[in-house]
């Protein structure tokens, strides 16, 4: 049973560019959350998708957007990249029966903005 998978594992971009990160949730899970983990910090909640809609959003600008597909996979898009967007981006999934925020994390995508 595959866990949460993310692609790519590493990415290098320059300021002003746009990037798309991908996530496949754990089998049977229908909810996907995205987190940003800057160096030396804990993960920060970006947003969560459920039934192909953004259900909740953290304190991130509109440059951060997402999408969820009918197969529950998800994408995170970041426009107009800034140096400060360099971080590990983590995807987490939750099962449909979960009512208590149990989230299972992927290995992340390391984004470097030069």
Partner 1 sequence: AQSVTQPDIHITVSEGASLELRCNYSYGATPYLFWYVQSPGQGLQLLLKYFSGDTLVQGIKGFEAEFKRSQSSFNLRKPSVHWSDAAEYFCAVGAREYGNKLVFGAGTILRVKS
Which residues lie near partner 1 (CB under 8 A)? 4, 31, 33, 35, 40-45, 48, 55-56, 58, 90, 92, 94, 99-108
Of 5 and 20, which CB lies nearer to partner 1 in the complex structure? Answer: 5
The CB-of-36 to partner 1 minimum distance in angstroms stands at 11
CB 108 within 8 A of CB 46: no
Q: Which token pair is 98?
A: 């979960």
Shortest distance, position 108 Cβ to partner 1, whole Å = 5
Q: CA of 80: how far to CAs of 12, 18, 41, in Å?
A: 14, 6, 23
């Amino acid at each position: 049973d595959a866990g949460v998978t993310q692609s790519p594992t590493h990415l290098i971009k320059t300021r002003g560019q746009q990037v798309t990160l991908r996530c496949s949730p754990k089998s049977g899970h229908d909810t996907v959350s995205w987190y940003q983990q800057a160096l030396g910090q804990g993960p920060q909640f970006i947003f969560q998708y459920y039934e192909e809609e953004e259900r909740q959003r953290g304190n991130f600008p509109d440059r951060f957007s997402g999408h969820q597909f009918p197969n529950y996979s998800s994408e995170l898009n970041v426009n107009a990249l800034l140096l400060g967007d360099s971080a590990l981006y983590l995807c987490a999934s939750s099962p449909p029966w979960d009512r208590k925020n149990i989230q299972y994390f992927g290995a992340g995508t390391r984004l470097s903005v030069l």
